[in-house]
């Protein structure tokens, strides 16, 4: 199997392997899926029994009858050489319509897909089991699209003819390059370099320990707010999602608004850090960053922002400090952050007792959760956009993906220490202990989020599949529960990342806001007002209200105790996660 993708030997045999969907699936490190089942009720019923589920026979009979009628109609169109109408964006190019056979193949696939998904929706099972069934069926349906294979993709075949085979050669070369990287290329990675054209806002590292570097950014205004802003990005990704390029950098935007910005650049752990725990990330990570920022700025209170799991870490750290009698922040901003994990969205398919226990056995006492595993899991949540789209364009059509800074960042994976990751999975995702006061203990203190004494700006993205916006809204109820008027919730358009990185100058998308919090997310949205453009000005107004007076901008980085170590972006962010070739999946 190791030479499956090596263009040697019998060309026909090799092309057969090239078109094998199971080979593609293995190479992409997608979750294992069964072969496409026969379109009958009995086979599907046998499949769902593995999940302890059932399907009402009358519902199956109705679905099967509808399927046969629609398939009969398709056959009639085929016999009369009438191409069926196809609206799916995967099959809109002229090549799919120019040959009735290809059009029929696409239409039959879409019919099969609708039938399989309808059967998945008809399953009678517990909500968690039903979600897993639907996810597994969706993976299979997406993987089996005729657009994904050379022998059934007329666009790719036409391009081979037009380029006299050059597109196929380029596709093979791109695939072999990706096999060495251990992942699919979603952008032209040669177009970017950290510190050269991403993560370029001027600053200096003013503190470092084994878990993070603290970056202080150079002011761009003559005066600044007296209280600085500390940014805590997710440790599961590189920090520069907040500092991509000048025109879409949240860091630069905050600096331009007159804030002295500090930022946590998490280490990309290697084996020497494989025993680090959640407590370590709280104490030696967030708490230390808060303290150093206070000392350099000379301020008792600062503004703090956490993004995704960075927000979870930040909120936990603030609750811990509150339990110790400290109140280090004048405001708290949470971007697409879970504090209540009741509804973890589609990620729930990866979270159950069996899977968490398996991770604990492997990593609970030490080791690394590889960044490439995170990337694979997140890609499987949107496989058509993040996997099969690139299989079609990169490999089948031989097209180099265009340069896109966000996708370059997305491919720059980060590892996590096993004990820290396992604690996070069990206590937060699986058992949802953080939302209940005193149910979780960190560094010897019982954590109570309701005791954090700071106004909160809470942001969710409406199309977020990682942190559903309704789950982000639950933080409104957990923070300042007796003074909800101190909390402001804003809902942005788009997804987990694109919704957050939406600078005002782009004049894209929109956001929703309301004067008061409501008891439910749905009620809040019904009362909210939609405003065109970016939510960033709404946030900077909140930040300014909690940042104190204007003072002269600092003329140097750090102070007598914390002196500059190296220019931003620093060393830590440039460390790559360990690579593994795609071919190793077959070994």
DSSP 507-575: --SEEEE-SS--SSHHHHHHH-EEEES-SHHHHHHHHHHTS--EEEPPSSSS-SSS---EETT-SGGGP
Q: What is the pLDDT of residue 17?
A: 38
- Choose between 149 and 580: higher pLDDT: 149
203-350+418-574: CATH homologous superfamily? Alpha/Beta hydrolase fold, catalytic domain (3.40.50.1820)
The token duo for 132 is 């897993």
Residue 439: pLDDT band with limits 50, 70, 90: very high
Mean pLDDT of the chain: 88
Which pLDDT value is given to residue 82?
76
**Does residue 14 register a pLDDT over 90?**
no
Q: How far apart (Å, rounded) are the C-alpha atoms in residues 260 and 206?
A: 13
CA distance 278 to 343: 22
What percentage of the chain reaches a pLDDT higher than 90?
A: 69
Q: Exposed, middle or buried: residue 450 (CB in 10 Å: 0-12, 13-18, 19+)?
A: middle
17 versus 271: which is more confidently predicted? 271
For residue 327, how many other CB atoms are within 10 A of its CB? 14
User: Where along the chain do its domains lie?
Assistant: 203-350+418-574
CA 118 to centroid of chain Cα atoms: 27
pLDDT in tens, 142-197: 999 999 999 999 999 999 999 999 999 999 999 999 888 888 899 998 999 999 99
- Between residues 3 and 336, the one the model is more confident about: 336
Helices 100-122 and 57-79 sit at what angle, rounded to 10 degrees?
Answer: 170
Model confidence at 515: pLDDT above 80: yes
* 220 three-class SS: coil
pLDDT (average), residues 118-141: 86
| pLDDT category of residue 98 using cuts at 50, 70 and 90 | confident
| pLDDT of amino acid 251 | 98
Tokens of 378: 């997140």
> What is the tens place of the pLDDT at every residue in 542-558?
999 999 999 999 999 99
**Residue 422 among the catalytic residues:** no
pLDDT at position 195 = 95
Q: Which two tokens stand for residue 13?
A: 């045999």
**How crowded is the C-beta side of 411, counted as CA atoms within 13 Å?**
22
Which one of 231, 267, 308, 349 is the catalytic residue?
A: 308
Q: How far apart are CA 121 and CA 107, in angstroms?
A: 21
Contact call for residues 307 and 232 (beta carbons, < 8 A)? yes
Q: Tokens 């960053």 label which residue?
A: 289
3-state SS string over 463-517?
Answer: CCCCCCHHHHHCHHHHCCCCCHHHEEEEEECCCCCCCCCCCHHHCCCEEEECCCC
Q: Specify the pLDDT at position 37.
A: 35
Interval 69-95 mean pLDDT:
86
Contact assessment for residue 450 and residue 541, using Cβ atoms and an 8 Å cutoff: no
Q: How many residues does the chain have?
A: 587
> Residues 519, 521, 527, 529: what is their CA dihedral angle, to the nearest 10 degrees?
140
Helix (H, G, I), strand (E, B), or coil: what is residue 233? coil
SS3 265: strand
Residue 167 CB-half CA count within 13 A: 19
């Amino acid at each position: 199997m190791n030479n499956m993708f090596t263009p040697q030997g019998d060309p026909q045999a090799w092309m057969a392997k090239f078109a094998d969907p199971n080979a593609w699936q293995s190479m992409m490190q997608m979750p294992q899926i069964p072969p496409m089942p026969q379109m009958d009720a009995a086979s599907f019923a046998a499949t769902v029994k593995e999940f302890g589920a059932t399907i009402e026979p009358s519902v199956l009979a109705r679905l099967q009858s509808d399927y046969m009628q629609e398939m009969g109609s398709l056959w009639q169109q085929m016999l009369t050489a009438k191409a069926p109408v196809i609206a799916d964006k995967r099959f809109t190019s002229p090549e799919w319509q120019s040959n009735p056979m290809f059009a029929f193949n696409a239409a039959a696939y879409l019919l099969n897909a609708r039938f399989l998904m309808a059967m998945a929706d008809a399953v009678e099972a517990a909500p968690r089991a039903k979600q897993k069934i639907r996810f597994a069926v969706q993976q299979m349906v997406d993987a089996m699209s005729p657009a994904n294979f050379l022998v059934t993709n007329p666009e790719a075949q036409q391009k081979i003819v037009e380029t006299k085979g050059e597109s196929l050669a380029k596709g093979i070369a791109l695939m072999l390059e990706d096999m060495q990287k251990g992942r699919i290329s979603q952008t032209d990675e040669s177009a970017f370099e950290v510190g050269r054209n991403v993560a370029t806002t001027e600053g200096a590292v003013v503190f470092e320990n084994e878990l993070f570097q603290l970056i202080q950014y150079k002011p761009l205004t003559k005066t600044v707010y007296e209280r600085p802003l500390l940014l805590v990005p997710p440790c599961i990704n590189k920090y520069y999602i907040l500092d991509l390029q000048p025109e879409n950098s949240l860091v630069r935007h905050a600096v331009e608004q007159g804030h002295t910005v500090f930022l946590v650049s998490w280490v990309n752990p290697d084996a020497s850090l494989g025993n680090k725990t959640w407590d370590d990330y709280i104490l030696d990570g967030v708490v230390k960053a808060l303290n150093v920022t206070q000392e350099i700025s000379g301020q008792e209170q600062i503004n703090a922002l956490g993004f995704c799991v960075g927000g979870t870490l930040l909120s936990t750290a603030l609750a811990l400090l509150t339990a110790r009698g400290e109140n280090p922040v004048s405001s708290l901003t949470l971007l697409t952050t879970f504090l209540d994990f009741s509804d973890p969205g589609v990620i729930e398919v990866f979270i159950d007792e069996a899977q968490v226990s398996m991770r604990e056995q492997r990593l609970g006492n030490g080791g690394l959760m590889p960044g490439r595993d995170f990337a694979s899991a997140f890609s499987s949540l949107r496989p058509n956009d993040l996997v099969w789209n690139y299989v079609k364009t990169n490999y089948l059509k031989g097209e180099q993906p265009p340069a896109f800074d966000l996708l370059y960042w997305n491919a720059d994976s980060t590892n996590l220490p096993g004990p820290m990751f396992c604690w996070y999975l069990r206590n937060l995702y699986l058992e949802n202990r953080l939302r209940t006061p005193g149910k979780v203990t960190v560094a010897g203190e019982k954590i109570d989020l309701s005791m954090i004494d700071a106004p909160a700006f809470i942001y969710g993205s409406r199309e977020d599949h990682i942190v559903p916006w309704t789950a982000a809204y639950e933080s409104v109820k957990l923070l300042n529960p007796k003074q909800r008027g101190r909390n402001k919730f804003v809902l942005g358009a788009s997804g987990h990342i694109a919704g957050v990185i939406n600078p005002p100058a782009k004049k894209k998308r929109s956001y929703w806001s309301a004067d008061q919090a409501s008891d439910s997310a749905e009620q809040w949205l019904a009362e909210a007002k939609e405003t065109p453009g970016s939510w960033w000005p709404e946030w900077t107004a909140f930040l300014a209200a909690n940042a104190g007076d204007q003072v002269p901008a600092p003329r140097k980085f750090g102070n007598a105790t914390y002196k500059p170590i190296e220019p931003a972006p620093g060393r830590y962010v440039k460390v790559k996660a360990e690579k593994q070739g795609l071919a190793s999946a077959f070994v």
